[in-house]
Amino acid sequence: MDLDTKKILKTLNPRKVWVPIVLGLGIVVYLFASDPEMSTDKLKLIFDARFTPIFLAVLVFFSRFAGYIIRIRSITKEQLTWKHSLYVIILWEFASAVTPSVVGGTAVAVFILWKEGIKPGKALGFVLLTAIFDNLFFVLAAPITLFLGIENIFPVSSGSSDLLENSLGALFFLSYGLIALYTFIMAFALLINPRLFKWILIKITSISFLRKWRYAAYKRGTEMILASDQLKGMGKKFWIYLSLSTIFIWSSRYLLLNFLMAAFIKISIDEHVLIFGKQIILWVVMLISPTPGSSGTAEAIFPAFFEIYLGDYTIIVNVLWRLFTYYPYLLLGALFLPRWISRVFFHGKKISSGN
C-alpha cells in the first residue's frame, strides 16, 4: 500500500472542494434553466415542507454518521477514542467526496488510520473489510430490489432520444457486475485464501507484457496476507455486529431521501419501498461515475428516477438530498483537516511502526 504522505495530502487538499461544488451546482442550474416551466416562484415551494419528515431526515442523517463512528471504533477494538473516530470518519468521507467513486479512497483511509496509531497491516485489513461489507450490501440488495419491483424500478423514458434514461439499465448492470466481481475477489483474498490470491497475481504478471507490474503485484499480495492475518480469530459476535451495522448505516442513508420526499408529497407504504429500492439502483450507477463524489452525475440522474413522484418539487428535493448526503462532508473535511494535520504531524503521539 502506497502511503506516500505528499500524495495522500494532495488528495486531501481542501482546495479540491470547489471542483465537485461547481459540477454539482452547475448541473442544478442547467436543470433549472432548461425547464421551460420552471420559474423562481417554484423555488418558494420549499416552504411547503412539513416539519415531521424533515426532522426525521435530520435524525437519520445523524444516525448514519453515528453508525459510522461506532462501527469504526468497534472494528478497531476501541483503539480509537470517540474523538479520533470522529476525525477518521469525517476525513474518510471527505476523501470519498473529492475523489471519483470508481477510484475509491482505500489508500487515504489506511493512511488516516495509520496516523491515528493503527498499524498499517491492521489499518488495511479494517479498511478493506468495511469496503467489502459496504459493497456486499449493494450486491445482495440490488437483486432483491429488482425482484420486488422489476417493472417499475428503472425510469422509463418518454422519448427515444433521451439517452440518459434509456441507458440507465445498461449502466446499472455494468456497474453491478464490476462491483460484484471486485467484492468477491477482495472477499476471497482477504477472508478465504490470501496466499492463493498472491500466487495468482504473481502468475498473471509473469506474462511478458505484464512483467512491469510484477513487483507491485508481489507487494499487493503480501499486504493482503498481512491484512488477512489481522482479522483471524474474530468471533461470531464481531461478524454479526459488522453486518447489522452496515445494514443500519446504508438504510439510514436511503431513508433520508424517503423522508425528504415525504416532506413535500404524500407517499404510500408501497411507494416508500419502491423509492428505497430505486436508490439502491441509483447508487450502483453512481459508483462508476468519473466525477469526484459523483458530483454532477448524481444531480443529473436524480430526476430520471424521482420526478415522476415529485413533479415541481424535483429540483428542491434534489438539492436538499445532496445537501444532506454530500456537501456536509466537503465542508466538515475542509474544517477538520487542518486541525488533524496539526495534531498528527506536529503535536500527536509517535505513530506505531511495523505491521
pLDDT for 15-68, tens place per residue? 777 778 788 778 777 777 776 666 666 667 788 889 999 999 999 999 999 999
Q: Which of 8-12, 280-284, 345-349 has the lowest mean pLDDT?
A: 345-349
DSSP per position, 145-180: HHHHSTTTSS---SSTT-HHHHHHHHHHHHHHHHHH
Contact by Cβ (8 Å): 80, 72:
yes
Collect all residues with Cβ–Cβ distance below 8 Å to 159 and sequence separation of at least 6.
none
Give the 3-state secondary structure of 332-348.
HHHHHHHHHHHHHHHHC
Helix boundaries (H) for the chain? 5-11, 18-34, 40-43, 51-75, 82-98, 106-115, 120-148, 163-187, 194-204, 214-229, 236-262, 269-286, 297-310, 314-325, 327-342
Q: Which of 10-19, 126-135, 291-300 has the lowest mean pLDDT?
A: 10-19
Q: How many CB atoms lie within 10 A of CB 285?
A: 25
Nearest Cα to Cα of residue 16 among 279, 322, 292, 254: 292
pLDDT tens digits, one per residue of 285-313: 887 778 888 888 888 889 888 988 998 88
pLDDT tens digits, one per residue of 147-171: 776 556 776 554 443 555 557 777 7
> Which cell numbers in the block locate residue 339?
486541525
CA gap 142, 136 in Å, rounded: 10
1 pLDDT higher than 90: no
> Which cell numbers in the block locate residue 341?
494535520
% the chain with pLDDT above 90? 28
DSSP per position, 44-77: GGGGG--HHHHHHHHHHHHHHHHHHHHHHHHHTT
CA gap 3, 109 in Å, rounded: 10
